[in-house]
Structure formats: structure tokens, C-alpha cells
Chains A and B, each alone.
Chain A
Amino acid sequence: MLEGMLVGLQTALSLKMILVVIGGCLIGTFIGMLPGLGPMSIIAIMIPVAISMGDPSAALILLAGVYYGAIFGGSTSSILLNAPGVAGTVATSFDGYPMTQQGKAGKALTIAAIASFCGGTIGAILLMIFAPMLSSVALLFHSAEYFALMVVGLSAIAAFAGTGQVAKAVMMTTLGLIMATVGEGALFNLPRFTMGIMDLQSGFGFITLAMAMFALPEALFLVLKPREMKDSGSGDIKDMRITRAEARAIAPVIGRQSLQGFFIGVLPGAGATIASFLGYAVERNIATKEEQEQFGKGSIKGLAAPETANNAACTGSFVPLLTLGIPGSGTTAILLGALIALNVTPGPRLMIDEPQIFWAVIISMYIGNLVLLVLNLPLIPYIAKVLMVPRNYLIPFILFFTLMGAYIGQNNATELLILVAFGICATALKFADYPLAPLLIGFILGGMLEDNFSRSMQLYDGIAFVWERPMTLGLLIIAAILIVLPSYRTRRAKLRQVGIADGD
């Protein structure tokens, strides 16, 4: 393990990788600030760039940097404009925006940056501890368990992602799985459901689908209904220092929320959004009476809690991706797709076979957090100017990058037409309140799910593996409970707020 860590350190500390992290964080911050564009869109747009870099470590480091940057940028616009760019930072605006109104924007940004930094760093330490443990357990898993584990993951995503409507989320997951069966399956080498169209022989393009599901509908929504910006003098961000007493007040909050956020992030389907809301609620409940009064009116604890939790959760969501190869959220699903495109299969073998990727990603998380704290914080007053770019210029650029992302990957103009067609469908689905993240996750996991299912069927000569392997049966029962138990629905519905990019 130590050897792997050193290899990772060597990779991550090369000049190229440091530049990649810095670039990723800056791009993420820039775009994450724009209201309506979530990290999923940004990462989807960045994938072709990452893939054409050719080096899986660099690609994953870039995308991870973009991810943190986006969350950080989202909290900046939450604090300055009360317009969260990302669902995971909605809770930040509860106390961050009141602070701006009181003229304490600089202080709020500093607290947010410190809280994010601590959450991310503590999360990365926990990841270093838990990922190797989990991957050694995961090596004992057979195809049957993998199949069951993926079913659990998909059910959890459906149960959490549905806006109080599990059936819709299940429908979307199934649709994703159905789309994954189009083309040639690995186990059979037979074209299926291609309707005789040659272009479908290799299935639908994952980047095209990711763009069509997230970037395009979000951009179209921005066109359809321009969001009014409430400007509250974000031009003068001053006095970014915090006092010793304030630091002492937020320290325990950061400690608690790093742990809680990380473990929520590990759960499939939960992610940064739920972690931040839960973190806010928990901290309000355990605060003293006078402090509770302050929540919602510019409490520093109320600002630190969601900021710590969402960053810790982002880190936590890498645990299932890196150890099991199963993404727990839309963002990690896109990262998984990018890795597969680079011929890297995340899973328990990743740590053994390609330690430089595994550890370089973890080390780069520290660097990324440091970059956000040291580089972005002083630059925030200038980066915030991006919010002033007129939408007439911004939207054509967003659409253009969406198109470019699909085009560069395939070098095929037909792909662009497919993108527009899927984008229109996705917008209609978004209008009707169908969650889109489960579709993409289903699509990405579909191939693996079927492979593992087929392998277990062949090993056990039938469906017997379900009851002959107690762990498989147990996992499948958990999956059934997740779908049937409706109590998960209400929680998520409350989280859904005005016009925020879906998921994290």
C-alpha cells in the first residue's frame, strides 16, 4: 500500500498533473458559478478533453478537479447572489446569502472555503482508510454478488432520485438499461435491437447521451426562463478574515460534518445534496438555543455545516466508484464512463493493477482542495465577474461546447443530430418531472449488470444463484425494500428547490 501511495504521489506531484488540477479547479469554479449548470453538465462537457489527454490518471484528476471546482463555484453564487448553481449548495445559501446582505460576503466566502477545504481533506483521509478496506472485501465478491450489488445501487438511486415518485425513477433506470442493450453485447457478439441501422451496431454513445441528458436541457431551461439575478453589491468583497472565536465556533461543526458527509456520500444515490441538507438540519438541532435563532439569518455554523458536508460527500462518492466500480451518483457515473473509455476498469482490482491511478486521484484531491483554498479564494472577486457575462453570449457558448463534446468524441456529425433529438426528449422528460440521472446511471451500468448476470447464470446453470448464495439473496432483498419503502420519497421531495440543476 505504501508503495502504491508513493507511486501515486510521484504521479500526482508532477508538474503536468499539478497544472491539470489547477486548470480543472478553475474551469469547474467558473462554470459551476453559472446558475443552472450543474457539475454533471460541466463534467460531461469536459470529458472529450479529458479523454483526448490519453492518460487515465490525468483524465480522472482533471475531471475530479472540475467536480470540486464546480461545487465550490456553486457555493460562491449561492452566497453572493442567492442563486445556487448546484443542488448541493442550496443549503449554503440559507445562511450565506444573509451574510452577504449584512455586508459580510468576504467573511462568508472565507468560511465556505475553509469548510470546503476541511471537508474535502478529511474526506480524502477517510477515503484513503476505507477504500483499501472495502476493495479487499470486494475481491471476495463473485459475479452474483456484483450483479446484486448493482441492483441495490440502481434501486437506491431510483429511491433517492425520484421526486417523490419512485415509479418514474424506476422507469428511467429501466429505460437506461434498455438503451444499454442496443448494439452488440459482450457475451453474445450478436447485434440486438439495432433495427438494421448500422450506426446502432456499437450502441448509443455515452458522451452524447450524457450531454443530451444534462447539459442540453439545462441550457434550454436557461433560454426558456431567464433567471433574474439579485445583485447585492457582490462587486465589493472585502474583509475576508475570520476571528479566532469564529474559527473555534466552526471547528466542531467541520469535524462532525466531515464524517457525516463522507458516509452519506458513500451511499449510492445520496450524494452531496442530501449530505448538505442533513448536515444543516443536524447542526441546527444540536446548537444552543441562541445559536438556533441565528440559523437562517447569517449563522456561521449554518454556513460551515453544508459546505463541509457537501465536499466530504463528493469525496465519499468516490469510494464505491474506485473500489466496486459502481457509481453512486450521476457525476461518478459520468466519471466511470470516462474511465471505461480510457480502457480502465474501476473496481477492486484497480488498486492492485493500476495503483498509480488510484493513488494519484486521492493525492490530487488534497492538491485540488489546496488549490481551491489558496488560489481560488483570493481570485473570487475577479472570478465572480463571470456572473456578469450577458446571457446572450453565454448560452450560445454553452450550446456550442455541448455540441463540441459530442462531436470530438465521435468525429461524426450524425452524432450531433442524435444529441439534439435526445436533448429534446430529455427536456420533455424534465418538464414532466422524470429524473434523468437514473437513466444515465442505468445506461452506464447496463452492460456490466448484464455481463455479471449472464456469468452467474452460466456458472449456476440457471437462476439458482439467487438462493444458493445468501449474500446475493440478502442484497436483492435490500434492493426490493428500497423500491417498496416509500419513506425515502418525501425526504428527497423537500430537497428539490427552485430551478436548481438536478443531482450532484
Chain B
Amino acid sequence: MALDRWIALILLGICLAYGYTAWFTMDADLAPFMQRNPIWPSTFPKALSLLGMGAALVTLFGLEKSTVKVDDIDYRRLHEYKLGQAIGLLALMVIYALTLRPFGFLVATSGFLIIGAFILGERKWHVMIPVGVIAAFLVWYLVSQVLEIYMRPLPGFLLGLGG
């Protein structure tokens, strides 16, 4: 089964779960005065769940003839692409999200930029490190001083915040 139909199946599942909530469980705790209302919080979701299921089924059963795809990137040849780099960068983004607060903006960001370039195959440390550090500092300066959004620049213990 092609990827788009697998995705249609997943989306159908989402619509079913959503529709089940809208049709059967949501109205139970509706206040009595609201029940006289011509519109309930579940009215619109009910309609959406039907529409979504319809569209997902059409794709799932391939009722609509698809035109020839002229895209240059094809998931069937995914292994030929630089999948490792992409996954590495995604993991790096997750690590960045987790370290941004504890390590502070400057450390986390320069780390992200340097390791990001490293993952992509750059090995010129004498360029990577200055570029990463200067860029992190510049962005921090712009965001916190010009746009006035506070971001903790360094790890808490260095700023005397007790870690």
C-alpha cells in the first residue's frame, strides 16, 4: 500500500476517534440550559468528523485518479538520500529544546549551530566555532536588547540563580 493511503488510514483513525468524542461522549456533560441552544459545542465537530471520514475514505480506496507526480523527492528512494543527516538534525533539535533552559541561550545555541554544521559534514572547526558563537551572541543581543524578550543567556549557576 502506498504511503499516501497509509496516511489516509491514520487520518481516518483520527477522524473516527474525533467523531466518537463529538457524537457520543461530548454532550453528556452539557449544561441543561445549553441543551435548548440550537447549536452545541459538538455540532461543528460532528460535521467535521463526517467530512474528514469521507475525504479519508476516498483517498484510502483510491477512488480519485491521481495524476502523475512530478516531484524530485520520492519517499521510495529515501535510503538514497541523506537520511542520517536529517535524523541527526531532528535529534539535535530535540536536544536543543531540552537544553535551552538549563544551559542558557548562548551555550545551547552555539552548540546547536556548531554540531548542526558538524552533522552536515563540516570539519573546519576554526570557522564553525567562531561563526556559531558570534551568531548566537548576535541573535541573543537582538532578541533580548532590541526586541526586549528575556532569554536566559547562560546556565543559571553562572548567573547566580542557584542552578
* A203-239 interface bits toward B, Cβ cutoff 8 Å, 1 = contact, 0 = none: 0000000000000000011011110000000000000
Q: Does A432 contact B75, Cβ atoms closer than 8 Å? A: yes
Q: Which residue of A lies closest to B148 (CB)?
A: A52
Question: Which size bracket describes the interface of B in this complex?
Answer: 35 or more
> Which positions 449-473 of chain A face chain B at CB distance < 8 Å?
450, 453-454, 457-458, 460-462
* A89-133 interface bits toward B, Cβ cutoff 8 Å, 1 = contact, 0 = none: 000000000000000000000000000000000000000000000
For the complex, give the distance between the alpha carbons of A396 and B131 in Å.
11
Q: Which residue of B lies closest to A409 (CB)?
A: B149
DSSP majority for the A interface? Answer: helix
> CB < 8 Å: which of B56, B73, B94, B109 contacts A431?
B73
Q: Does A221 contact B73, Cβ atoms closer than 8 Å? A: yes
Q: Does A420 contact B7, Cβ atoms closer than 8 Å? A: no
> Which positions 13-49 of chain B face chain A at CB distance < 8 Å?
14-15, 18, 21, 26, 34, 37-39, 41, 43-45, 48-49
For the complex, give the distance between the alpha carbons of A291 and B78 in Å.
44
* B3-16 interface bits toward A, Cβ cutoff 8 Å, 1 = contact, 0 = none: 11011100100110
For the complex, give the distance between the alpha carbons of A178 and B17 in Å.
12
> Is A181 an interface residue when CB atoms closer than 8 A count as contact?
yes
> CB < 8 Å: which of A52, A167, A177, A433 contacts B48?
A177
Q: Does B86 contact A224, Cβ atoms closer than 8 Å? A: yes
> Is B159 an interface residue when CB atoms closer than 8 A count as contact?
no
Q: Does B90 contact A424, Cβ atoms closer than 8 Å? A: yes
> Which positions 111-147 of chain B face chain A at CB distance < 8 Å?
112-113, 116-117, 120-122, 128, 131, 135, 139, 143, 147
29 contacts between A and B (CB under 8 A): A49-B147, A52-B147, A52-B149, A170-B51, A175-B52, A177-B48, A181-B48, A190-B41, A192-B45, A220-B90, A223-B120, A392-B122, A395-B120, A396-B89, A397-B113, A399-B93, A399-B112, A413-B98, A416-B93, A429-B7, A431-B3, A432-B3, A433-B71, A434-B4, A434-B7, A458-B37, A458-B39, A498-B70, A499-B71
5 smallest beta-carbon distances between A and B, as pairs: A396-B116, A164-B67, A416-B97, A432-B4, A171-B55
Q: Which residues of B approach A to under 8 Å, CB–CB?
A: 2-4, 6-8, 11, 14-15, 18, 21, 26, 34, 37-39, 41, 43-45, 48-49, 51-52, 55-56, 58-59, 63-64, 66-73, 75, 78, 81-83, 85-86, 89-90, 93-94, 96-98, 100-101, 109, 112-113, 116-117, 120-122, 128, 131, 135, 139, 143, 147-149
